Structure 1
Amino acid sequence: MIYIDSFLEYLLLEKKYAKLTIISYATDLAQFQVFILETYDTREMSEVNYPMIRQWIVGFIELGLTHKTINRKLSTLKTFFKFLLKIQVIAVNPMVQHKSLKLPKRQQEAFSVLELEKVSDYFEDVTFEGLRDHLIIELLYATGMRRQELIDLQLSSLDLKQQQLKVRGKRNKERLIPLLDSISFLIERYLQERSVLLPQGSQLFVTSKGKAIYPNLVYRVVHSYFEKVSTKKKLSPHLLRHAFATHLLDKGADISAIKDLLGHSSLASTEVYTHSNFKELSKAHQAAHPRSQGDE
């Protein structure tokens, strides 16, 4: 088709696209041209509408192509129709309202039990900041709370007599999380130091200047400690929440209870952690199952 040839020439000469990219575009457009000819008996791009394009998408999904691959093909098509609009071959871009297919979220690997044991060797409780940072990491792991939930904690959130913590999560939903003895002890030590530094104020976690902590500070705390013991690329506070859920599942905790502790509104969100732990389950299965030993 003349318009496809003109488009590819435009990409090469004006846009300076790489030859391999242009070959990829040419392949995508050839596939689309065959599709509209065989399915709708037309070669005219001016006759193409979005329902036709949507049917093309459905065909790829049925073939099992990934959303990433389909999105790349649709990006080709979108660029092509923008070109046709520019040279006035079409009056309306049929893809103007198209949204890319959602890509599955990659669940990051949680911190391991060994990494969490190793990181404890680096805690320095001799300064206020050291004690605070120690508590931040321990509390994130012991409760599974989100970073912002930690930042929002007030002194009134604590009930050390009942050994529980009131957390305000998404959509202002409150939940109670039990505290381990070791965490309660660490909180008491921190509160003593905090009262000397800042007798007033309602925020639980503060800087050495008495200001409320902020997201980047929490990130830096987690990153600075775990870069000493972990080879993971992303060392974010979320990995402690991930570790909380994964390690509880490893120990046989009920997934519904974990859902409530994490503050998830649906079980589907919590089930992500069962999928992320499949590799470990597979290793255990291979090691323990009689058939893995070659027995008949």
Structure 2
Amino acid sequence: MLIDDFLNYLRYERNYSDYTVKAYSKDLNQFEEYVKSCQEGVFVPDIIDADIVRDWIVCLLDEKISPVSVNRKLSSLKSFFKFLMKQKIVSVNPLRLIVGPKTKKPLPYFVKEGDMEALLDGDGFDEDFEGVRDHLVIEMLYDTGLRRSELIGIKDADVDFDASLLKVTGKRNKQRLIPFAEGLKDLMLAYTEVRNREVGAQSEWFFVRKNGQQLSAGMVYNIVKKKLSDIPTLAKRSPHVLRHSFATSMLNNGAELNAVKELLGHSSLASTSVYTHTTFEELKKVYHAHPRAKKGGNYGN
């Protein structure tokens, strides 16, 4: 019951997305089951202490759950107990001194600019409705840095062709305006023409399937994975890789960090600054190609 109250608080007062609420629900229900297994089927937050939480962490790690996932679950649990403290349901937060397992944060995967140019300007897309749509999906993700959920959430009313602006609804229902260039505008107009002719214009959604229904997140993932498979050197293939590629390309070409932050819809510069490390890695590779760098040895290591 308390977990349900917390999830409703996230959904209706904090405006968290259904996807995020489901993630919190999964983490908290998992913790509840663990506590019940330790306390004869009883789950009473007021008697949960730090030792129970630490034992849960050890259990998760023993089950080969990654430190990244464990820390995410701890974050869910911390938010839950902050809610309980606010509601005066518990008097002590058992997580106040809990520290999660250390993680080594990997640099984001991204596609090199030359590989993206070859993919987007090549002849790998059909000229029918699905081919035109899939081409635009790849181009828009790379040109704007949209999240997958933001892409499928675009409605026709969100596109202002006259001003070349796209209204996007991001995390926690925060809206932002993203400008788009003439090349992307031409692709969008070509897509809407083919869509309206072959599918019809009954739907409010900008990206649709052949039956006119909204394009799903799973379909976007499959479109991107299939097309990025044409780049054999790429280790990871997903819509988020294109978002990383957008940010990296922007910074590599002189965009200011704060401007990229606003375009990505990040709440803080800390989330955006990871891409500066990515661009620095690229600079190191370029430097290694210099004959003096080869002679000098291990620069930057």
| Pair in the same fold by TM > 0.5 | yes
Q: Are the counterparts in 2 of residues 115 and 230 from structure 1 also a CA contact under 8 Å?
A: no
User: In the aligned structure 1, how far is the partner of 2:264 from the partner of 2:156?
Assistant: 21
The answer for the alignment partner of 1:274 in structure 2 is 276
Write the distance in 1 (CA, Å) between the matches of 2:148 and 2:289.
37
What letter is aligned with 1:217?
A: M
Alignment of 1:41-190 (within 5 A): 100-120=100-120, 121-190=122-191
Aligned equivalents of 1:247, 1:173: Cα separation in 2: 25
Residue 285 of structure 2 aligns to which amino acid in structure 1? K
Q: Which runs of 5+ in 1 are unaligned?
A: 1-48, 55-66, 72-96
Greater radius of gyration (CA): 1
Which of 241, 247, 250 is the equivalent residue of 2:249? 247
* Structure 1 position 117, deviation (Å): 1.9
Aligned residues: 207
Contact 1:140/1:241, CA 8 A, preserved across alignment: yes
Give the CA deviation at 1:123. 3.5
Match of 1:42 in 2: none
CA distance 1:292–1:134, shift in 2 (3 Å): same
CA contact (8 A) 1:118 1:229 kept: no
Task: Give CA-to-partner distance per residue, 1:52-80, whole Å, 9 cap, x none.
Answer: xx9xxxxxxxxxxxx89xx9xxxxxxxxx
1:104 Cα shift? Answer: 3.7
Report deviation, 1:284: 3.0
The question of whether the paired residues in 1 share the 8 Å contact of 2:224 and 2:237 is answered with: yes
Q: How many angstroms does 1:232 deviate by?
A: 2.4
User: Runs of 5+ in structure 2 lacking a partner?
Assistant: 1-48, 55-66, 72-96, 297-301
For the 8 Å contact 1:122–1:225, the answer to whether it is kept is no
What residue in structure 2 maps to residue 191 of structure 1? 192
SS across alignment from 1:129: helix
1:107 and 1:276 in contact (8 A); partners too: yes
Tell me the TM-score normalized by structure 2: 0.62
1:166-214 deviation digits (Å, cap 9, x = unpaired): 1110111111111010000000011111112122111000001111111
CA contact (8 A) 2:202 2:212 kept: no
Deviation at 1:289, TM superposition (A): 9.7
Q: Secondary structure at the match of 1:277?
A: helix
Return the offset for 1:234: 2.0
Distance 1:191 1:244 in 2: 24
| 1:126 Cα deviation from its structure 2 partner | 1.5
Mapped to 2, the partners of 1:162 and 1:102 lie a distance apart of 47
For the residues of structure 2 that align with 1:214 and 1:105, how far apart are their CA atoms? 30
CA contact (8 A) 2:109 2:236 kept: no
Judge which range, 224-233 or 257-266, deviates more: 224-233
Q: Tell me how large the CA RMSD over aligned residues is.
A: 2.8
Q: Once the two structures are superposed, what CA deviation does each residue of 1:117-173 show, in whole Å capped at 9, x if it has no partner? A: 221214424210000000000000000010000010000110010011111101111
Structure 2 equivalent of residue 82 of structure 1: none
**Residue range with higher mean Cα deviation, 107-116 or 137-146:** 107-116
Q: In structure 1, the residue corresponding to 2:233 is in which secondary structure?
A: coil
Query: Between the two proteins, what is the percent identity of the paired residues?
Result: 40
Q: How big is each residue's C-alpha offset from its partner over 1:17-74, in whole Å with a ceiling of 9 and x where there is no partner?
A: xxxxxxxxxxxxxxxxxxxxxxxxxxxxxxxx979xx9xxxxxxxxxxxx89xx9xxx
CA shift in 2, pair 1:50/1:229, >3 Å: closer
